[in-house]
Structure 1
Amino acid sequence: MAAKSIPNKPRYDYVKRTARKILLSNNINSLPTDIDLIFKANNIILFSESEAEQIAMSDLPYEFKNNKDIQAITQKRIIQGKSIYISIVKDRNRVPGNVRFSKAHELGHIFLKHFEEFDLPSSLNISNSHEYWVLEREAEMFAAELLAPTAILRACNCFDKESIKSLCNLSEEASEYVISDIRRDYHLMEREKAALECQFDDFIRNKKYLLLTSPAFCGNCGAPLKPADRYCIMCGFKTTNNVNIDKVFLYPSTIQLKSTGRVYYCLRCGEIDLPLSSKICNVCSAPLYNLCTSCNSKLSGNDRFCGSCGGVSSFFQSRLLESWAEVQNSLNSVHKNQILNYRKINFWDYIIEKLLDKNKLDVHRALFGSCGYDDCGKLIIAFESESNNLIDKDVILAEINAICLPYFDTTYDDIDIIHT
């Protein structure tokens, strides 16, 4: 087959989409990306510079070893009719973050089929040839998306260089490259975004990324602290430099707010028809915004205290949020639903969140706090206690299928509600 012509410009959508497919197919569900696992899972041979020299029992070629512009090389070999890729990455006197980026860069050349579709000369010449700049740029873009997937950085609200550096285990140089790349408005199909976010759901929803990005943790309740926090937003404890790392605890987000900081519906009585100008529910007077009761600052939905002044939040004062100790006890206890003989729907929380996005507030309110299970195509929805809501099973099933079909290519034939 004749070689294709090298594109005139980088194929942004194709590159990003390919990187996401590799993350999905290799079941990468947390950051930093396990780059060595991808090499191993795809039978791509990887050597460090020192390993390659040890195997060859001699120095690597001078043109590779002494060229500072070349940090890695990949070559394709046909063995017994199969394509075998061998990558060698320089590791001497290099920071680990740069080595990781070089590895991901080489994977880019492989998975983007640069060796298969284009007539490439020796890999040693590519970086110095203007003709092949497009392919180098594509490999760089692939590496950035593989190590710092845009959808996941956005879900973790991670956009600054230091956070990306810590979260993705990159060097400062590689982190700056990721930032410049993430600012581009790349097209992201909703289904692709959903698949990637679902695979990372536990990492995102349970805030495991904070273990890597938070500068400190509360010595009283173990909650992650932000650099500007003077008080812990979970327990109100005044922050100090003496943090007991053994007490680190990640508190999941349970209350979602609109971009304005307002609830989607009343958290106490479930009222949906709320006056736009009102700050409290017109039925039960519960707060619609989580504000500091001392300085009136607008807080996130799960803040119990104000990080600036230590004041109690309106949600916590109104008992719309449990105390940090109650949350810990609840999460540390064995959930009854875990003993059910059904397959748990791993993306259930994601489905519930999508109901808000689609303005299905009645359904979201009815299903909030539930767990979803699959019993051979039958949807089982489990609640810890008897629900006060009158649940229309047909409506629930229709709305769940309306989300599952386009996002996950699956539907359920029947539905049952149980209480544990």
Structure 2
Amino acid sequence: MHSKKIPDKLRYNRTLSIAQKFILEQNINRLPVDPFKLTARIDLPIVSASEYAMAMNCSFQHVIRDIIKSNDGTAKCVDNMQFIIYNERVASKGRIRWTLLHEIGHVRLGHLIDFEETRVQRAGLTKTEYEVLEKEADCFASRVLAPPIVLEALKVDNATRLITLCGLSRLAAENRYKDFSAKLNKRRFPDLLEIKIERNFHDFIHKKYCVICGHSFVIENAKYCPICGKKRVYWGDGKMIYSGYELDDKSKAKVCPRCENEETSLDGEHCIICGSHLVNRCTNDDNENNHSYEPCGILLPGNARYCYKCGSQSTFLSNKILRRWSESQADEQVASTHDNFGDIPF
């Protein structure tokens, strides 16, 4: 039953909390957010203006002018069923993305069911009431499409980065960055929901690739590529995944790489059958790169030829358990991970 009074100003804390909980509930863990997959998961029907026109036996122009009443989209509630209609002919994919999250925001914030006056259209609403609900939906969309804790972790410092990172239109990116940068210096310690969101986005935040060997990996604070040892590591997706050996939590091979002995869980770092060293760690020996560093000896992943912290050889490379990346490259699995819109029905 519609009974609540429309607020006279943006309920920022409530809107932010609902957006954060939505990110966690839907397990959103990478950008850009795909609104079509979201609406499918939350069982929220979404139809294009053309599809709606065909179903209602009316013109596309009628849907835009009299149903949506804008050039973008609308959320509606008919017989207690909520759904979204959007203009698929909008040229900007970023604008469509924003429109859909904006309308999802209206639904998740209860705008369609909480108030007597609203169907989230101008009819029945004063200008002030309409603008308040629009601001709340925009706030929801901005926090889901570009979560501040993720932008901060990735050190986003311009609007152009938001276009490529979050899939926003130029205007939306500029507005989002203006709001984000204004609040950045006023931010306190992250709250519990933000900490959970950052944890959800861990692999996305820390993904890296090497421009030399193309290796794609996720390691926090990596300075060197663990495959080729070069200091040409950047944030993003690579094209190559190099195979290695399965290790336990102490970087010890679960199966001996040389004799395939499976009894490796005993104390010690050497195979009890052939004597091979089973632990992959930094050797602190940097004969190739000649870097100046403090010895580290950290444990390394099962495919690491080099230490990602200091660039030294790994024990697996030094002991010839792993071949050099250039020798094994032809045998490796190619895995394209570049972001694209190939699976998004824009």
TM-score, normalised by the number of residues in structure 1: 0.51
Counterpart residue number, 2:333: none
| Cα distance change, pair 173–68 in 1 and its aligned pair in 2 (3 A) | farther
Counterpart residue number, 2:203: 202
* Alignment partner of 1:324 is 2:230: yes
1:272-309 CA deviation, whole Å, 9 max, x = no partner?
xxxxxxxxxxxxxxxxxxxxxxxxxxxxx7269xxxxx
Distance 1:165 1:64 in 2: 27
Counterpart residue number, 1:307: none
Counterpart residue number, 1:27: 27
Contact 2:150–2:198 under 8 Å retained in 1 = yes
Contact 1:70–1:124 under 8 Å retained in 2 = no
Contact 1:108–1:142 under 8 Å retained in 2 = yes
Displacement of 1:8 in angstroms is 2.1
Of residues 310, 326, 333 in structure 1, which corresponds to 2:244?
333
Displacement of 1:44 in angstroms is 0.6
- Could you say what secondary structure the match of 2:88 adopts? coil
Aligned residue runs from structure 1 range 159-308, under 5 A: 159-182=157-180, 183-184=182-183, 185=186, 189-207=190-208, 218=211, 221=212, 248-250=214-216, 252-255=218-221, 302=223
Distance 1:87 1:42 in 2: 12
Q: 2:25 is matched by which residue type in structure 1?
A: S
Counterpart residue number, 2:269: none
Distance 2:129 2:14 in 1: 20
Contact 1:28–1:34 under 8 Å retained in 2 = no
Displacement of 1:74 in angstroms is 1.2
Contact 2:93–2:169 under 8 Å retained in 1 = yes
Displacement of 1:168 in angstroms is 0.8
Contact 2:19–2:140 under 8 Å retained in 1 = yes
Displacement of 1:137 in angstroms is 0.2
Distance 2:194 2:81 in 1: 31
Counterpart residue number, 2:75: 74
Counterpart residue number, 1:136: 134
Counterpart residue number, 1:380: none
| Cα distance change, pair 152–23 in 1 and its aligned pair in 2 (3 A) | same
Distance 2:39 2:85 in 1: 12
Residue-pair matches, total: 250
Counterpart residue number, 1:155: 153
- Could you say what secondary structure the match of 2:205 adopts? helix
Displacement of 1:178 in angstroms is 1.2
Q: 1:334 is matched by which residue type in structure 2?
A: Y
Contact 1:104–1:143 under 8 Å retained in 2 = yes
* Alignment partner of 1:106 is 2:12: no
Q: 1:146 is matched by which residue type in structure 2?
A: V
Counterpart residue number, 2:50: 50
Distance 2:188 2:5 in 1: 24
Distance 2:248 2:224 in 1: 27
Displacement of 1:336 in angstroms is 1.8
TM-score, normalised by the number of residues in structure 2: 0.61
Contact 1:254–1:302 under 8 Å retained in 2 = no
Counterpart residue number, 2:121: 124
Displacement of 1:141 in angstroms is 0.7
- Could you say what secondary structure the match of 2:152 adopts? helix
Higher relative contact order (CA 8 A, sep 6+): 2
Counterpart residue number, 1:36: 36
- Return structure 1 stretches of 4+ with deviation > 6 angstroms: 327-330
1:206-255 CA deviation, whole Å, 9 max, x = no partner?
248xxxxxxxx84xx05xxxxxxxxxxxxxxxxxxxxxxxxx43454554
Structure 1, gaps ≥5 residues long? 209-216, 223-247, 256-300, 305-320, 341-365, 372-383, 386-420
1:321-358 CA deviation, whole Å, 9 max, x = no partner?
98239x99996423323997xxxxxxxxxxxxxxxxxx
Contact 1:161–1:179 under 8 Å retained in 2 = yes
| Cα distance change, pair 334–15 in 1 and its aligned pair in 2 (3 A) | farther
Q: 2:215 is matched by which residue type in structure 1?
A: F
Structure 2, gaps ≥5 residues long? 255-295, 302-313, 316-346
Displacement of 1:192 in angstroms is 0.9
Displacement of 1:61 in angstroms is 7.0
| Cα distance change, pair 43–159 in 1 and its aligned pair in 2 (3 A) | same
Distance 1:123 1:150 in 2: 27
- Could you say what secondary structure the match of 2:112 adopts? helix
Q: 2:95 is matched by which residue type in structure 1?
A: N
- Could you say what secondary structure the match of 2:122 adopts? helix
Contact 2:30–2:201 under 8 Å retained in 1 = yes
Contact 1:64–1:124 under 8 Å retained in 2 = no
Counterpart residue number, 1:270: none
- Could you say what secondary structure the match of 2:76 adopts? strand
Distance 1:9 1:370 in 2: 53
**Higher normalized helix content (fraction of residues):** 1
Counterpart residue number, 1:245: none
- Further displaced range: 1-10 or 165-174: 1-10
Counterpart residue number, 1:400: none
Distance 2:223 2:90 in 1: 45
| Cα distance change, pair 94–130 in 1 and its aligned pair in 2 (3 A) | farther
Distance 1:11 1:148 in 2: 19
